[in-house]
Structure 1
Amino acid sequence: MIDNTRPYSPSEPSHNLTRRNLLQAGMAGIAVSVLSPWSVWAAPSGVLVNDVTLLNPIWVNRLFAPRTTDEIRQALAMWSGPVSIGGGRYSMGGQIATEDSLHLDMRQFNRVIRYSPENRVIRVQAGMRWRDLQSVIDPHDLSVKIMQSYANFTVGGALSVNAHGRYVGAGPVINSVRSLQLVLADGSVIEASRTENADLFHAAIGGYGALGVITEVELDLASNVTMERQVHHMSVADYPKFFNNQVRGNEQAILHNADLAPPYFDQATSVTWRTTDKELT
């Protein structure tokens, strides 16, 4: 993997960026061969799957890289053994695969299904990376509303763990999801939202793929804004007061985190991205 971004150092001066610029940071992907719905069953038994660390090799029975929901539906209906699902493969502990399973490699499952810039909503296949989604909405001056701190994860992977980011008051990614499509073990395709199949909606987000395969996701988007990075150094004891007075409930605070760096665990570095009218730098 090649990291084409450089993390900001707390010692650097303040930078002004648009919200979308900050969210576009990501890593290069991994190429994968694509099998048809039929060739997966004829493929030789035993395929080695690994995560990005290359420390967790797992032998699966079959590897299938679908491009449509119907292909996933057919695959699950025909397969009677265990199923594992891999997206960006950033779950670094062997979670992305199961021995002797049908492994669904979702990285080619990455199309936009519907997009309405005027309504600030988009529906995508779950294998799309956040970085690629941001590239689609960027020309309309829109931004991802909630995601984890890195843009190289897939949307489905982030939903499967209900990832959180640094968004002040926004909570985890489920708070930006309008609805999703889920393929169950028997191959049935279910639409789920807060009003339709609500139990499946809430269980699938953060469900680690245990209920089925998340195939499509409809997301709320946010308007793009210019942000300024502000850094403050303080003792850990002073941080709760600072957070309550300067960050919590502050409508200008978009992103925030506080870091502790060894060996000085009694000192905190607070980083906040706030809206600004200043020129971009």
Structure 2
Amino acid sequence: MNKRQFLKGSLALSAVAALHRQRAGAEVTVPRDNWAGTFHYHTDRVLQPRSVDEVCQAVKSVSSVRALGTRHSFNGIADSTSAQISTLGLTDFQIDPVAKTVTVGSGMKYGDLAKALDKAGFALANMASLPHISVGGSIATGTHGSGLRNGNLATSVRGLEFVAADGKVHTLRSDRDGDAFQGAVVGLGSFGIVTHVTLAIEPTYNMTQIVYRDLDFAQLEHNFEAIMNTGYSTSLFTNWQHHQAWQVWIKRRVDQDGSAPPPANFYGATLATQKLHPVLGQDPAKTTEQLNMVGKWYERLPHFKMEFTPSTGREIQTEYFVPFESAYQAVLAVESLRDQITPHLFVTELRSIAADDLWLSMAYQRRSLAIHFTWKPEWDAVTLLLPQIEAKLKPFSPRPHWAKVNTLRAAQIDGVYPKMSEFKQMRKQYDPQGKFVNSYMREEVLG
């Protein structure tokens, strides 16, 4: 080959590479920290495709990659030292009123989807405590709201579309694909880049929200299930001092529970007469309306309003799931560390979740109590505390939230997920060379 031919061939290859980069979506500037500013990502290369075809090209253009949504994770699940594919360009949606489903781009935020659904006369069964999170990321990590009759957000999934390591589009459906579907829905981003999710929807509904103050933990010994089953969704907030939950948030569906004035007393707790924030000292204007005011479902199911920064802002989060049958004993176990925990804690929230059959769901085949910690941004103190909390919870086979901070590793986590070995085998079918495997996946999941 002469120099002229070599240059011509090089230019042609460069043009093809440039075309692939263009089709893969633009490289965008995205903050290199999570939303709370407490985790730093290790690559500056972020692609943001705006179509499924561009996602396919993006996946083909890299040797290693992770999906990135709204950056609401607190650990390295979305991290990469090579490249990330932002899903925020995938925000289309299509409602099927006959099938009662919506197919939505994985980068759409739940708050935006909720408004669009309500405008069309539909609703979701549940939402998380904040509406700012993306559909794809929330589902991939088993994110949840509360209610012993309510599954996590992933249980509403009826179909999953993703681009696997081969750069091709794959689809799985609940009515067709059985184990493959149940294994991939809470997939931790390890099957590929999720592009669209089909969710079950229902007719729109209204809700109210009430708050009680100072529930003695002694009431939980014999009434825990009744308390958590009050209304549609119930949360308890505590700082672990004084053997009590300082707030009880109860969300009621008007079509199920009515909107009559609530009793002044709830298992010894007192009805709040002014709006409250679950974190003491924070502005309650950030929270969704309380005081039994009737509002749309998406204005009550989350704790925080879309237009405000949720919770406290700069924070660290941890969460463990234990069988609900052991809920009271687990609460007492954590409470025994109260004097070590409280100085570093903003608040703990206790929520309940219905059992499901999604392989890596934290509520897989067991009703669960979720014990959530919102920590002050004090990494050294938190990382010293977590092994102590995990040791206290060990008798209850805790499952940590996939997107929050913990010190458990794959060898410890394997035993609490009966389908973990099948998950690992199935994942390899879609990603045999580990294109979607990062340090987090190796250390906390695959081993």
Tell me the TM-score range normalised by the shorter chain. Answer: 0.7 to 0.9
| 1:266 aligned onto 2:244 | yes
Distance, in Å, in 2 between the alignment partners of 1:264 and 1:184 is 51
**Which one of 182, 203, 206 corresponds to residue 226 of structure 1?**
206
| 1:171 aligned onto 2:154 | no
| 1:71 aligned onto 2:85 | no
Distance, in Å, in 2 between the alignment partners of 1:158 and 1:176 is 12
Give 5+ residue unaligned stretches, structure 2.
Answer: 1-17, 260-292, 296-447
Larger Rg belongs to: 2
What SS class does the counterpart of residue 76 from structure 1 fall into? helix
Aligned to 1:244: 225
| 1:85 aligned onto 2:57 | no
Distance, in Å, in 1 between the alignment partners of 2:87 and 2:26 is 18
| 1:146 aligned onto 2:135 | no
Aligned to 1:51: 34
Distance, in Å, in 2 between the alignment partners of 1:48 and 1:150 is 20
Q: How far 1:88 sits from its partner (Å)?
A: 0.5
- Cα deviation digits, residues 81-140 of structure 1 (max 9, x gap): 2111110001123432211x221011121111x212354310011011001101111113
- Cα deviation digits, residues 197-247 of structure 1 (max 9, x gap): 434422222221111111110001133323232334421121253343354
Aligned to 2:92: 111
Query: Is the Cα–Cα contact under 8 Å of residues 239 and 268 in structure 1 kept in the other structure?
Result: no
Distance, in Å, in 2 between the alignment partners of 1:272 and 1:91 is 26
Q: Residues 137 and 64 of structure 1: is their aligned pair in 2 closer, same or farther, counting only changes over 3 Å?
A: same
Aligned to 1:38: 21
| 1:203 aligned onto 2:183 | yes
Q: Residues 41 and 181 of structure 1: is their aligned pair in 2 closer, same or farther, counting only changes over 3 Å?
A: closer
| Between structures 1 and 2, the one with greater helix share | 2
What SS class does the counterpart of residue 202 from structure 1 fall into? helix
- Cα deviation digits, residues 54-106 of structure 1 (max 9, x gap): 34333426321011111111221232x2111110001123432211x221011
Aligned to 2:415: none
- The runs of at least 4 consecutive aligned structure 1 residues that moved more than 6 Å come to 40-44
Aligned to 1:20: none
Q: How far 1:158 sits from its partner (Å)?
A: 0.5
Q: Residues 260 and 190 of structure 1: is their aligned pair in 2 closer, same or farther, counting only changes over 3 Å?
A: same
Give 5+ residue unaligned stretches, structure 1.
Answer: 1-34
Q: How far 1:184 sits from its partner (Å)?
A: 0.7
Query: Is the Cα–Cα contact under 8 Å of residues 87 and 195 in structure 2 kept in the other structure?
Result: no
When the two structures are aligned, how many residues end up with a matched partner? 240
Query: Is the Cα–Cα contact under 8 Å of residues 40 and 62 in structure 1 kept in the other structure?
Result: no
Q: Residues 53 and 228 of structure 1: is their aligned pair in 2 closer, same or farther, counting only changes over 3 Å?
A: closer
Q: Residues 273 and 196 of structure 1: is their aligned pair in 2 closer, same or farther, counting only changes over 3 Å?
A: same
What SS class does the counterpart of residue 78 from structure 2 fall into? coil
- Residue type of the alignment partner of 2:78: I
- Cα deviation digits, residues 145-179 of structure 1 (max 9, x gap): 23321111000001110111113411212221111
Q: TM-score, normalized by length of structure 1?
A: 0.74
Aligned to 2:78: 96
- Residue type of the alignment partner of 1:70: D
| Between structures 1 and 2, the one with greater strand share | 1
- Residue type of the alignment partner of 2:71: R
Distance, in Å, in 2 between the alignment partners of 1:180 and 1:217 is 5
- Residue type of the alignment partner of 1:74: Q
The root-mean-square deviation of aligned C-alpha atoms, in Å, is 3.0
Distance, in Å, in 1 between the alignment partners of 2:118 and 2:30 is 38
- Residue type of the alignment partner of 1:58: Y
Distance, in Å, in 2 between the alignment partners of 1:273 and 1:103 is 37
Query: Is the Cα–Cα contact under 8 Å of residues 125 and 215 in structure 1 kept in the other structure?
Result: yes
What SS class does the counterpart of residue 52 from structure 1 fall into? coil
